[in-house]
Amino acid sequence: DVKVTQSSRYLVKRTGEKVFLECVQDMDHENMFWYRQDPGLGLRLIYFSYDVKMKEKGDIPEGYSVSREKKERFSLILESASTNQTSMYLCATSRTASSYNSPLHFGNGTRLTVT
């Protein structure tokens, strides 16, 4: 079974802080994703990566950046946290870059509160 581990379940940060959300997977998947989940809006893609050091913007990249230095690790960075970034953040992986029916495997999420 694929295991996708997000380093924190809950985080509370202050406005203006730099925030790092970490995600590690153990199944050698090429693709990794960061989503945020908000009530009534479903899941929105922030960034994704299909290979080490490669990244692509998703639907809502503003205020975020990412880092993928190793295949198994994908970090989401909030450069200067704001209250509108309070949300549930979900990391996901999928198996191959060439397949359009590879399902996503999700971590348990990090609930971030920015005060």
Partner 1 sequence: GNSVTQMEGPVTLSEEAFLTINCTYTATGYPSLFWYVQYPGEGLQLLLKATKADDKGSNKGFEATYRKETTSFHLEKGSVQVSDSAVYFCAIQTGANNLFFGTGTRLTVIP
Distance CA 25, CA 52 (A): 13
Comparing CA positions, the residue from 68, 69, 48 lying closest to residue 58 is 48
Any contact of residue 103 with partner 1 (CB under 8 A)? yes
User: By CB under 8 A, which span of 12-20, 70-78, 79-87, 100-108 interacts with partner 1?
Assistant: 100-108
Q: Candidates 40, 62, 69, 84: give the one binding partner 1 (CB under 8 A).
A: 40
Distance CA 23, CA 90 (A): 9
Where on the chain is the footprint of partner 1 (CB under 8 A)?
Answer: 4, 31, 33, 40-43, 45, 48, 50, 56, 90, 92, 94, 96-109
